[in-house]
Structure 1
Amino acid sequence: MKLGEIIREKRKTLSLTQEQLADYLGVSAPAVHKWEKGTTYPDITTLPALARVLRTDLNTLLSFQEELTDEEIARFLEELDRMISQESYDAAFQRAMDQIHQYPTCEKLIYTAIFYLDGARFLHGLPNPDAYTDRLIPFYESMSHSQTPEIRDAALAMCIAYHRNRKDFTRAEELINTIPSTRIDKEEQLATLYTQQEKWEDAQRLWERRILQSATELQTALIHLMEIAEKEGRPQDAQFCADTYQQVSSLLHVTQWIPYTAKFQLASLRQDRAACLSALRHILPVLKEPWTPQTCPLYRHMGDGDLAALAQSLYDRITDDLEHSEEFTFFRGSPEYEQLRPLLREEG
């Protein structure tokens, strides 16, 4: 609610006319009319008296405590997404900052917008995504003290990653040690309760989410084990981890291209041109295909899950990296790569 709307609402609640409010404040009735229309604003010196006359406080009067609904936040994210596609990431970033300044206590808005902006800078392939890191991290630091566990934990994880990437290992370890070592698993408790109550659909939805979450955790662990083994000079162990990653991903029926990402990453570490291109031949043709998890019994209640837009962004990012990133110069220009290039430009 805007300032003018609050003034009008409070005035009418007290059964005051615009002329009466103006008399109390020593201003003209047209001035009050303009405030309520939103064409002008009260002078800052008038605000304390205005709050007293309307029997409210400055926080309420200036809507510092105002919250956006979930629907309004969802629409705002759609707006940011359109701005990135049609204008620029910087324009969307500034729009988000303006909205946060307008609703500085709406924690869900801040949480949603900041995490979206953070992911979007990589998803949309910004040439220098790290340029925004120092502008994002203060929001994570603030949210790491949130009273909402989900927001606090997610923000804390981002702060830890930030300090770890900057090689400030002391600070990263300090933050890690603030994480409780034991915690009751709310979702597991709810899923068990719903099962005992025979609320089958509610229970299945939670267990299905757990399977997908576990798949992601297993994949992350295997990737790290693979990289460590390779850097320690244990190529057979690294290959075993990459093979296991593929098997686990296929067994848990994730999107078609994900099972091959570990082998592609390992081949990149080894600068193995043939292995890289072999993995890409499996990844690129299906990268833009939508994932419909509900067709699998493991994810029957996960919804449509059409990730076409995400897949398109990932496809664009990978193809751009293959053509321009220094990481892949070891195979760029080879006959095998030239054979693959038409596949990079196929329309999905």
Structure 2
Amino acid sequence: MKINHIIREKRKELLLTQEQVAEFLGVSTPAVNKWEKGSSYPDITLLPALARLLKTDLNTLLSFQDDLSDVEIANFVDEVDKTVQEKGYETAFQMAMDKIHDFPTCENLIYSTVMYLTGALILYNISEPERYEKVFEAFYEQLSRSQNTEIKETAISMLISYSINRKDFSKAEELINTLPSSSIDKEERISVLYTEQGKFLDALKIWEHRILDSITEIQTALMNMLDIAVKEERIEDADFYADVYEQASKLFYVTPWIPYHAKVSLSVIKKDKKECLAALKSTLAAMREKWRPKENPLYKHLDSSETNILSERILAMLQEEMVNGNEFAFLENSQEYGQLLQELRTYNNIE
């Protein structure tokens, strides 16, 4: 809100006339009238007294506060979008710039409006976007110093994109390194940067790691969902999660025996001899398969040590439990289990 609107609204709230304001400040009534019309402004020496008279503070009087609500900002962005469609992008752009000029410290207004206009450049295929982008980049520079984490990181991401587009890779990398290590975009932005620089091997390693990490997270989530389903006695759902675990693991070409891990665990919980023996049989058969991740395009650039550590740890725990633990005690009288156990001992050369 401009200072003229603030003076007028605060005066009316206090039931003061322009004449009373003028008399209190020692100025003419026409001067106050001009202030409220926006055709002139109070002398700086009058501002403290004017603020006291209107029972407000200088920040509010000078519109230094972010005094637009989220609803007002959302409604304005809708107006800008409507203007783009009805009157063209340039008119909407000028409309947005005028609003920002009125509220230069309203960070949420700048963020929402500039983000919309940036997207609209592409959505409406605006010609000569460079002249607008130059303005937007200045705003993103301003927003990159925000105390609001979301606004700050989004602004930095936009600045990274601008730097990459103009092949300023050193600036892009500098900006990427300002992002917090917890930001999910940091690794992604680095890989995009590598791709633009033609460092395809480095980019592929990042994406392959992302795939391997993601399937591990999916497996962990499914195992936890399975556990909850069992505790809530939703066995049908638990069976479903175990099936998805197997399918997802096979789809993403993990260690050959891993797909059966969920079914082994579930069958032990259920004390289902038939299911457990089938799952163990599949597990032990898969153990004989040599896993060669580099032969698959998903992981061909990763070291085998990077892909084997977790699966080897889980396998070792399973083998130890089968040989020395109690989880499989319900299978002890099974001839088939005895054969599987002997097979495991032979495979590992266990005495």
TM-score, normalised with respect to structure 2: 0.48
TM-score, normalised with respect to structure 1: 0.48
- Structure with higher Rg: it is 2
